[in-house]
A and B are shown apart, each in its own frame.
Chain A
Amino acid sequence: MRLNLKASNVSTTPSAIKELPKRFEPALFILPHLIIFSVFFIFPFFYGLVISLYDWHHFFPEQRTFIGLANYRRILFETDHIYYEYFWRGLRNTLTFVALSVPLLVAFPLFIASLINTEPRGYKLFRAIFYLPSLFSIATLVLIWRWVLNTNLGVLNLTLAHLGVGTNIAWLSSQPFAWISLVMMTVWWTIGGNMIIFTAALKDVPDMLYESADIDGANLFQKFFRITLPSIRNQLVYIFIMTTLASFNVFGQPQLATGGGPQQTTTVLMMYIRNIAFGGGRPRPGIATAMAVCMGIIMIIISIAQTRIIKRMGD
């Protein structure tokens, strides 16, 4: 019986057997990634939504109680709650950083790119110089800048003193200098990528457009706003959104350079989330996750709004 079956199988469907691996071929290619993606992305995403509904201590499975939306209520509405204070102060600080840094992180590289786009002598070297800092890790960045901004020994204050202006500014421990410092080092650190994208975009703007504008007697500003900006609109949208999202994630600069000070004025949301989830004392992953979910939703809403606004401005 058994032998028979086997024999008939082989004899009747040789092509089916050959086909079999073919049908699973796509799986061979996409499954390795899909499995990793599911375990380390899809699962955590939904798991995060779940644990934000729990009161949880120390990541111990047994110290976990379901409390529904109470975490969200606490951080969003209960004004006397400490986590309400952390969340809103952190959000305000993060938004301050976004508002201060994003305009510079878009405008300044665009300015540099339009200079480089004229291809002056040694433009490749300039491009490399402006890109170089983006290779550094955040720790290297802060080591460099803490030394540059050192109150008594830093090159910035020494130069200012040499020029006869400024009296030992405490760049990292007094406001508004702490914000200025954080934005300054971030601009220095990250404009490289945006600059290169802009340079490539500007190269693709047809010279013809500028030439006919010249004939019409357009000035530099008219050419910039009427020709350049509309021509690079797609890249502009992309850079605006990516830069905003990157600035939202700010963590290392204040954590390492200002320690969130003075008086927690630069303690950004990411720092509170990390401290609440993993910090010393009593880690509270549930409420920290609820904060992270709120932060994520705000980021999604803002990037959608930005796309809409910039698209509409162009029409």
Chain B
Amino acid sequence: MALKKIEQRKKRISFWILVSISVVWVMPVIWVISTSFKSEMEAVSGGLNLIPRDFTLASYRFIFTDQNNNIFRYIRNSFIAAGTHTGLYLLVASLAAYGYGILQFKGRDRIFWLLLSTMMIPAVMNLIPLYAVMIRFEWLNRLTALIVPGLGGVFGIFLLRQFNLTIPKDLIESAKIDGASHLSIYLRIILPLTKPALIVVGLFSFMGNWNDYLWPLIVINDDAVRTLPVGLAIMQGNYTIFYSRLMAATVVSIIPVLALFMASQRFFIKGITMTGIKQ
């Protein structure tokens, strides 16, 4: 009984500490949202009020109608780049994961561990030579430069292969006895059974690509193909003194990822847990 009481008290203390830290944690976002609904006048008045005195949608109206504002083009470009990248990566990685997890061939494990060990190499070492490759391929200022090079990523293959290894061998053997080819085993058995892992890998490659900043900053100079993070960074320079508009743009930039997170929260948590227990 005493133990139960201690348990209850622990929960209560944890709860109140978490509440107080959470308030601090959400404050920056609340402050931004609040500013976006204020008039430019009120935004620079120095008031601490979170509820706007003269609530207005003017900044959002401006963001949606301003001819010089390209935020929706940036969002579209980001969707095209991240979406295409994710679709292709799921295909390439799941094929490879089948190769390293299900198929049996000479040198299989050696090749796979060699691949994994390359993850030790910091990406910074490849940055400049990869740019030189982009020049040679004439991929500068094209979304292709944001879509294709990342398809060589190893981590997704690693996660999918780990998942493949948990699939009962009997299932695959009996399909083979029934005369199924590897392609049909991959399509009919592995893909449906590894769906949760595919969703996790898909989410992370989408988010990674969507939020990438340094690489697009280097390879994309043309505003027509610019993606959201670099585009936003440039808007920060253009709207300097229009804080309310800037914050409205910030809120708009958050909405797509927020929607994705709401729709798939449990996969995010599952995915991060999967990566963390890798050792």
Contact of B123 among A249, A285, A293 (CB under 8 A): A249
Report how far A120 CA is from B7 CA in the complex, Å. 10
Q: Mark B264-279, 1 if CB is under 8 A from A, else 0.
A: 0100110011011111
Q: Mark B122-147, 1 if CB is under 8 A from A, else 0.
A: 11111111111101000000000000
Q: Mark B197-238, 1 if CB is under 8 A from A, else 0.
A: 000000000010011011001100000000011111100100
Contact of A197 among B28, B108, B276 (CB under 8 A): B276
Q: Which residues of A contact B129 (CB under 8 A)?
A: 43-45, 47-48, 51, 289
Check B177 for interface membership: any CB of A closer than 8 A. Answer: no
Nearest residue (CB) in B for A233 is B279
Given known contacts A296-B122, A303-B120, is B213 in contact with A252 (CB within 8 Å)?
yes
Check B52 for interface membership: any CB of A closer than 8 A. Answer: no
Q: Range of interface residues on chain B?
A: 35 or more
Number of A-B contacts (CB under 8 A): 263
Report how far A158 CA is from B50 CA in the complex, Å. 12
User: Total interface residues on A, using CB and 8 Å?
Assistant: 90
Q: Which residues of B contact A169 (CB under 8 A)?
A: none
Is A153 in contact with B243, judged by CB distance below 8 angstroms? yes
Given known contacts A278-B218, A285-B132, is B279 in contact with A296 (CB within 8 Å)?
no
Is B213 in contact with A148, judged by CB distance below 8 angstroms? no
Nearest residue (CB) in B for A136 is B254
Check A248 for interface membership: any CB of B closer than 8 A. Answer: yes
Report how far A236 CA is from B182 CA in the complex, Å. 39
Is B22 in contact with A126, judged by CB distance below 8 angstroms? yes
Contact of B277 among A120, A200, A245 (CB under 8 A): A200
Check B1 for interface membership: any CB of A closer than 8 A. Answer: no
Is B95 in contact with A116, judged by CB distance below 8 angstroms? no
Q: Which residues of A contact B95 (CB under 8 A)?
A: 28-30, 32-33
Q: Which residues of B contact A292 (CB under 8 A)?
A: 124-125, 127-128
Contact of A36 among B148, B243, B250, B272 (CB under 8 A): B148
Nearest residue (CB) in B for A32 is B92
Check B37 for interface membership: any CB of A closer than 8 A. Answer: no
Q: Mark A126-142, 1 if CB is under 8 A from B, else 0.
A: 11111111011111101
Given known contacts A44-B133, A137-B213, A139-B228, is B154 in contact with A112 (CB within 8 Å)?
no
Q: Which residues of B contact A33 (CB under 8 A)?
A: 92-93, 95-96, 151-152, 157
Is B236 in contact with A146, judged by CB distance below 8 angstroms? yes
Q: How far is the CB of A21 from chain B (nearest CB, A)?
A: 9
Report how far A209 CA is from B219 CA in the complex, Å. 54
Of A3-11, A69-77, A221-229, A269-277, the one contacting chain B is A269-277
Contact of B48 among A48, A158, A303 (CB under 8 A): A158
Report how far A274 CA is from B27 CA in the complex, Å. 33
Q: Which residues of B contact A29 (CB under 8 A)?
A: 95-96, 98-99, 103, 182, 186
Check A145 for interface membership: any CB of B closer than 8 A. Answer: yes
Check B165 for interface membership: any CB of A closer than 8 A. Answer: no
Contact surface of B with A, Cβ cutoff 8 Å? 7, 10-12, 14-15, 17-18, 21-22, 25-29, 31-32, 35, 43-44, 46-48, 91-93, 95-96, 98-100, 103, 105, 108, 111, 115, 118, 120-133, 135, 148-149, 151-152, 154, 157, 182-183, 186, 207, 210-211, 213-214, 217-218, 228-233, 236, 243, 246-247, 249-250, 253-254, 257-258, 260-261, 265, 268-269, 272-273, 275-279
- Can you identify 27 A-B contacts, CB atoms within 8 angstroms? A26-B105, A29-B186, A33-B93, A40-B152, A41-B152, A51-B128, A51-B129, A130-B25, A132-B29, A135-B261, A138-B211, A139-B232, A142-B236, A146-B236, A148-B28, A148-B32, A153-B43, A196-B273, A196-B276, A197-B272, A237-B279, A270-B214, A277-B127, A277-B131, A278-B218, A292-B124, A296-B124
